Structure 1
Amino acid sequence: MLTSVEAIDQCEVITLGLEDDATVIHRDDAPGLAVLRPDVPLAPSVVAEFQTGVPRLQAEVAVAGFPYGNVLTTPALTFGTLADIRGLNGEEEVKRLALVAQPGDAGGPVYDNSGAVLGMLLPKVANNGQTLPPEVSFSLDAGEIVASVQGAGVDLHTTNSVAYMTPEALTLMAADMTVLVSCWDD
């Protein structure tokens, strides 16, 4: 499982889906990502494929997350567009999204309209006292994720497919692939 460092920072116990304990097996503070392994083996019905191709600007994207915490049993999808393949200052490791994400969405997968993972939604942080408009969000680029995770010896799947997936099919797939990460004090 992949999530943001912010989601697991200061945790004594981490759970997946409120039931299964997990352990951090890789943490990369520079891009802000963490890889979790369930303490008991799980068998997800779907495994993420990370997009290695260059997406087109203004393409539809969706973020799967848990903006309402554990109130919903499946992730909510927030739809938007890919505003830029770089950050506001030209950063190559992030993509700028035009969608209104909630704090509980941070760490969730950002899908392209083929169902491939374009990146991981980054938490919103004020930059030098500046607050960006609500529809501006950023995702860590899939290439950065792949490099970090493979460097830690974790296998993952990649694709360069641009086949189209309906929003309904994407929603079903995301529900099978996205899990709530919870942080607890012991």
Structure 2
Amino acid sequence: MSRVRLVPIVLIAIVALAVLFGGWQAYQHFNLLGPLKKNLQQVEGVQTVDILTGSPDVVQVQLGPFSKLKNGDLQQTYDDITSQVSSKLGTGVTLQLSDDRSGTLAQALENFNPVLLEGVTKGNYTEMISQVTHMAKSQGINCRVTMDTQYIYIQLAKGGHYLYKVMPYSTHQGGAAS
């Protein structure tokens, strides 16, 4: 009668799991994350990229000033970034944009929030953009607000500082229908 030796079986299982885990990590680094990071750093306006794997994956992107963005437009730069990220990592990835904001710009954005939210709620998009642009101009802030079907893109700059905000919005209101 043969005896099953437990220690060699456990050691073989541990070595096999270590090899599989190491192979997965190498695959992720060399075939997914490395090329994604390289591609993102080639997008106009991107200064640095940091990718944190987990649940969910987080892609942190440091953007440069307006003049460095694709055509000076946050929306075009953001579209390029999201298309690169979704092609490599799929959906469910958290994208975090970093900028060089000052207290003045952060306060201005906070002051613009009621106008932005009211514009989205009422559907007065052109009026909302006009009001935010006028408010920014009165404070000596360079402002650009654009939209697509999912997001409002806000760019603010004053002095050497700049702030970027991508706000999701939905035109579909919840509630009961009769």
TM range, normalised to the smaller chain? under 0.3
Greater helix share, structure number: 2
Structure exhibiting the larger radius of gyration computed from Cα positions: 2
Greater strand share, structure number: 1
With the length of structure 2 as denominator, give the TM-score of the two structures.
0.21
Structure having greater relative contact order (Cα 8 Å, sep ≥ 6): 1
With the length of structure 1 as denominator, give the TM-score of the two structures.
0.20
